[in-house]
């Protein structure tokens, strides 16, 4: 095992379980369990089952599924919205566990609920699931109609997550209709929407759907690249469910190019992630995939045992596709062992399960596999019959990424039959599709992508370790400083005592005077240290947000916007690095920093808000000074949490002027206001931190320069409670002031 692989194992098994551990609210769980046990009202019991199942979904899929199994027989006794919510939760779990036959049967009943009788969120979910149902049955028009309705409700809900998911389902519908360009276009829209929402889970889903589409159309290299992005995002957000799914999908593509080492690695990771959340289905599918690796290594007993283990788990959850895959895999093992009757028996079982789940793509795979057995038995007519069925399905209903294998098989059979013309025809078809398909050609690039990803993981781990060592070093230096201060205080106390013994009266006067001077200097040093620490808390947060935007553009290969963004950002970084160590900077410099920062944010949100910076000319003439970045947290709050990009004619205004010998800064925005922002917990936490930090900085300045600076926040429109107005008052200082020459840090 390489060093890179060991680092990824360490990251996955040691670091992630600590960071990604789900914080369980056992009090709520216990309360819901008591309601389920004691309640006699169907509506109350149903709601408790759904709420508890939703909680379990975060850390134990098996328990969430058990809630759905309790709820399923109760559905017929419910009515109205309660019945629909129960059906919605059960359908979600059926989809998660892979029981698509039951899932489609339940979703078909959604049609009997009128949109007007449902809440908007429920109406959205209804049409979304119906759209997926129609797509799976290759009814493109009905699917498009349902998904357009879902998009209407998603926009009315103003939910980026819902819009993202709808775009993904639209892409899936166009993919099954073999409309590649439209499918890719919808996933691009999904990625852009997810990037605006800021939720990594949405971005994971969007990239994964794009990977599925590239895979469907045979562009394996692009599929792996998008899968790796989705996997990395899922890993950074510690989403075990998505990590298990994406790791397995990457492993399947490695298996397709016979990169067995990496395939086994990702399947093992998938199994470990699935076990973290007790996801029986994902665990079983990972076992089935590992069985295929063993088969290709000709470890046939091991392959059969792994498939048998997977079969036991999949029968529990009723995953039709999963059961079909296991039986198909076992058929391939028996075929390799030349046990043809056993192989055909397994392939027939696979066909039954795939037909139940209407999975035509997999049916085509089984037909191809059956044909290879007939070819070995020299029953060429039957072999050709099955191969023609397989090719026809792949052309009209499924992915065309494997069809050239079928044409190659047909060419070989006609060659063995001595029909050179037919053999040549199908060999030409094979070559045509092989040229269009990137499976073979992309093998080397896929290996390079995997190695690059492992290298990035290694660098990330090294950076984390370096940060940890740096933190320990700073803590040790701080401890040493405290010990030294304690030692100095003890010495001063001893001097005061000795002075009192020698000259009592005089020593008291000198001692009091000296103590006051030391105390003042110490407090000044503490105030300066506090400001430095506070600035280091603010600047990394700002830089992290900007780097996230750059990362998203790079993921999208948006060269134009990423280049434009980097030019602004590099100038902004230089200004920050040059000025952040200083206690005060010129107002002109602060305005330039804000100008670059606002231009960067405006570019990020695609020019969906405006800004204006104004100042009195006298401030520029006096060379007024200001603490660096003191306005940035409130400007960031106005943009991020005031949602200026979602407000019509969104605008932020920053004004600097002198009033009562104080430097006054006024920040106004017409966003959703404090009341609207409080609905987001993330927004609330961030605002309280920014407010606390700025108040401390102002208090330190007031203490040091005997001033009366203050911070006031109010609604811009007090009637509608929208918009925000922030007033910051600071001591009025210029670079010619006496204290500046002594105190300003160069």
Which of 104-113, 408-417, 423-432, 712-721 shows the highest mean pLDDT? 104-113
- 695 alpha-carbon distance from chain centroid: 33
Share of the chain above pLDDT 70, in %: 79
Distance linking the first and last C-alpha atoms of the chain: 51
- Mean pLDDT, residues 44-51 taken together: 91
pLDDT tens string 365-419: 889 999 889 888 889 898 889 888 888 887 776 555 677 788 888 888 888 888 8
Please tell me which residue, 429 or 455, carries the higher pLDDT value.
Answer: 429
Structure tokens given for 322: 């999963």
Of 116-130, 339-353, 354-368, 682-696, give the lowest mean pLDDT range.
682-696
Residue 126: what pLDDT? Answer: 94
Residue 255: what pLDDT? Answer: 86
The pTM of the full predicted model, rounded to 2 decimals, is 0.57
Residue 189: what pLDDT? Answer: 93
Please tell me which residue, 13 or 713, carries the higher pLDDT value.
Answer: 713
Of 277-286, 290-299, 629-638, give the lowest mean pLDDT range.
629-638
Q: Is residue 160 part of a domain?
A: no
- Mean pLDDT, residues 563-584 taken together: 77
pLDDT grade for 696, boundaries at 50, 70 and 90: confident
Is residue 718 scored above 80 in pLDDT? Answer: yes
Is residue 90 scored above 90 in pLDDT? Answer: yes
Give me the domain span that covers residue 542: 519-743
Residue 439: what pLDDT? Answer: 47
- Mean pLDDT, residues 481-485 taken together: 64
Q: Is residue 485 part of a domain?
A: no
pLDDT tens string 68-87: 999 999 999 888 899 999 99
Write the CATH number for 728. 3.30.565.10
Residue 150: what pLDDT? Answer: 95
Structure tokens given for 391: 């090719």
Residue 271: what pLDDT? Answer: 93
Does residue 626 contact residue 658 with C-beta atoms inside 8 Å? no
The Cβ-side half-sphere exposure at 465, using a 13 Å CA radius, reads 9
Q: How far apart are CA 630 and CA 590, in angstroms?
A: 9
Is residue 185 scored above 80 in pLDDT? Answer: yes
Q: Is residue 724 part of a domain?
A: yes
Share of the chain above pLDDT 90, in %: 28
Please tell me which residue, 111 or 532, carries the higher pLDDT value.
Answer: 111
Q: How far apart are CA 520 and CA 517, in angstroms?
A: 5
pLDDT grade for 96, boundaries at 50, 70 and 90: confident
Q: 């070995």: which residue's tokens?
A: 376
3-state secondary structure labels for all residues of 289-343: HHHHHHHHCCCHHHHHHHHHHHHHHHHHHCCHHHHHHHHHHHHHHHHHCCCHHHH
Q: How far apart are CA 353 and CA 737, in angstroms?
A: 84
State how far the alpha carbon of 458 is from the alpha carbons of 12, 147, 447, 463, 697, in Å: 12, 42, 17, 9, 38
Q: Is residue 544 part of a domain?
A: yes
pLDDT grade for 19, boundaries at 50, 70 and 90: very low
Residue 113: what pLDDT? Answer: 92
Is residue 300 scored above 50 in pLDDT? Answer: yes
How many domains in the chain? 1
Q: Is residue 18 part of a domain?
A: no
Is residue 21 scored above 90 in pLDDT? Answer: no
pLDDT grade for 192, boundaries at 50, 70 and 90: very high
Please tell me which residue, 354 or 518, carries the higher pLDDT value.
Answer: 354
User: Is 137 strand, coil or helix?
Assistant: coil
Backbone φ and ψ of 715, nearest 5°: -70, 140
Q: Is residue 560 part of a domain?
A: yes
Residue 440: what pLDDT? Answer: 44
Q: Is the dihedral of CA 497, 503, 504, 506 positive or negative?
A: negative
Please tell me which residue, 48 or 510, carries the higher pLDDT value.
Answer: 48
Q: How far apart are CA 130 and CA 134, in angstroms?
A: 6
pLDDT tens string 602-646: 877 778 889 999 999 888 888 899 988 888 888 888 887 777 777
Of 57-71, 75-89, 523-537, give the lowest mean pLDDT range.
523-537
Residue 27: what pLDDT? Answer: 84
Residue 607: what pLDDT? Answer: 81
Q: Per-residue DSSP letters for 368-380?
A: HHHHHHHHHTT-H
Q: How far apart are CA 192 and CA 209, in angstroms?
A: 13
Q: Is residue 474 part of a domain?
A: no
Does residue 711 contact residue 681 with C-beta atoms inside 8 Å? no
Is residue 112 scored above 50 in pLDDT? Answer: yes
Does residue 280 contact residue 317 with C-beta atoms inside 8 Å? yes
Q: Is residue 207 part of a domain?
A: no
Is residue 542 scored above 60 in pLDDT? Answer: no
Q: How many CB atoms lie within 10 A of CB 268?
A: 18
Please tell me which residue, 353 or 454, carries the higher pLDDT value.
Answer: 353
Average pLDDT, the chain: 80
Is residue 682 scored above 60 in pLDDT? Answer: no
């Amino acid at each position: 095992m390489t060093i890179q692989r060991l680092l990824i194992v360490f990251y996955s098994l040691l670091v992630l379980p600590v960071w990604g551990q789900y914080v369980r609210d056992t009090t709520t769980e216990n309360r819901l369990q008591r309601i389920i046990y004691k309640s006699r009202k169907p509506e109350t019991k149903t709601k408790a089952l759904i709420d508890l199942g939703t909680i379990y979904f975060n850390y134990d899929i098996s328990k969430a599924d058990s809630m759905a199994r309790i709820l399923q027989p109760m559905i017929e006794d419910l009515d109205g919205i309660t019945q629909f919510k129960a059906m919605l939760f059960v359908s979600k779990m059926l989809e998660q566990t892979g029981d698509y036959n039951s899932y489609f049967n339940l979703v078909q009943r959604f049609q009997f609920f009128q949109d007007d009788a449902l809440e908007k969120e429920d109406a959205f979910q209804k049409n979304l699931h119906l759209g997926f149902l129609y797509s799976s049955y290759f009814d493109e028009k009905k699917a498009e109609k349902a998904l357009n309705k879902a998009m209407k409700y998603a926009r009315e809900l103003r939910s980026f997550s819902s819009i993202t998911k709808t775009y993904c389902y639209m892409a899936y519908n166009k993919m099954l209709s073999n409309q590649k360009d439209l499918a890719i276009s919808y996933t691009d829209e999904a990625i852009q929407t997810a990037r605006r929402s800021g939720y990594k889970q949405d971005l994971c889903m969007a990239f994964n759907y794009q990977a599925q589409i590239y895979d469907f159309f045979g562009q394996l290299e692009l599929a792996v690249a998008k899968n790796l992005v989705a996997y990395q995002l899922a890993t950074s957000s510690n989403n075990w469910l998505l990590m298990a799914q994406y790791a397995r999908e990457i492993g399947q593509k490695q298996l397709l190019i016979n990169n067995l080492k990496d395939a086994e690695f990702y399947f093992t990771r998938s199994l470990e992630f699935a076990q973290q959340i007790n996801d029986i289905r994902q665990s079983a599918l990972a076992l089935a995939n590992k069985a295929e690796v063993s088969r290709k290594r000709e470890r046939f007993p091991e392959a059969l045992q792994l498939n048998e283990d997977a079969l036991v788990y999949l029968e529990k959850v009723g995953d039709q596709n999963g059961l079909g895959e296991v039986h198909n895999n076992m058929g391939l093992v028996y075929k390799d062992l030349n046990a043809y009757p056993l192989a055909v028996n397994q392939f027939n079982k696979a066909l039954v399960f795939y037909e139940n789940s209407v999975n035509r793509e997999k049916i085509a795979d089984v037909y191809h596999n059956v044909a290879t057995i007939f070819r070995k038995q020299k029953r060429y007519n039957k072999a050709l019959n099955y191969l023609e069925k397989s090719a026809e399905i792949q052309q009209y209903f499924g992915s065309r990424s494997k069809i050239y294998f079928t044409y190659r098989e047909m060419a070989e059979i006609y060659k063995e039959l001595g029909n050179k013309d037919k053999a040549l025809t199908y060999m030409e078809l094979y070559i045509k599709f092989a040229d269009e398909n990137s499976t073979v050609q992309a093998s080397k690039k896929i290996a390079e992508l995997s190695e690059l990803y492992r290298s990035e993981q290694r660098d990330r781990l090294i950076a984390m370790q370096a940060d940890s060592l740096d933190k320990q070093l700073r803590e040790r230096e701080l401890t040493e400083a405290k010990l030294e201060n304690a030692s100095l205080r003890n010495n001063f106390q001893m001097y005061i005592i000795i002075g009192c013994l020698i000259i009592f009266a005089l020593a008291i006067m000198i001692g009091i005077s000296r103590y006051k001077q030391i105390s003042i200097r110490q407090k000044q040093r503490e105030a300066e240290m506090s400001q430095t620490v506070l600035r280091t808390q603010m600047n990394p947060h700002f830089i992290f947000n900007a780097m996230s935007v750059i990362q998203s553009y790079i993921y999208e290969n948006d060269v134009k916007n990423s280049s434009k963004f980097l030019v602004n950002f590099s100038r902004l970084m230089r200004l920050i690095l040059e000025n952040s160590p200083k206690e005060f900077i010129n107002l002109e410099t602060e305005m330039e920093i804000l100008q670059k920062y606002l231009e960067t944010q405006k570019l990020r949100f695609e020019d969906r808000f405006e800004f204006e910076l104004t100042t009195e000319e006298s401030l520029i003439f006096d060379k007024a000074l200001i603490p660096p970045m003191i306005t940035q947290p409130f400007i960031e709050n106005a943009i991020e949490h005031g949602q200026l990009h979602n407000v019509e004619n969104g605008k932020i205004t920053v004004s600097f002027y002198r009033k009562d010998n104080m430097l006054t800064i006024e920040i106004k925005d017409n966003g959703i206001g404090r009341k609207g922002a409080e609905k987001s917990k993330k927004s609330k936490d961030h605002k309280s931190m920014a407010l606390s930090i700025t108040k401390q900085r102002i208090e330190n300045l007031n203490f040091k320069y005997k001033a009366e600076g203050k911070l006031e926040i109010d609604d811009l429109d007090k009637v509608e409670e929208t918009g925000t107005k922030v007033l910051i008052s600071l001591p009025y200082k210029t670079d010619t002031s006496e204290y500046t020459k002594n105190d300003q840090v160069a």
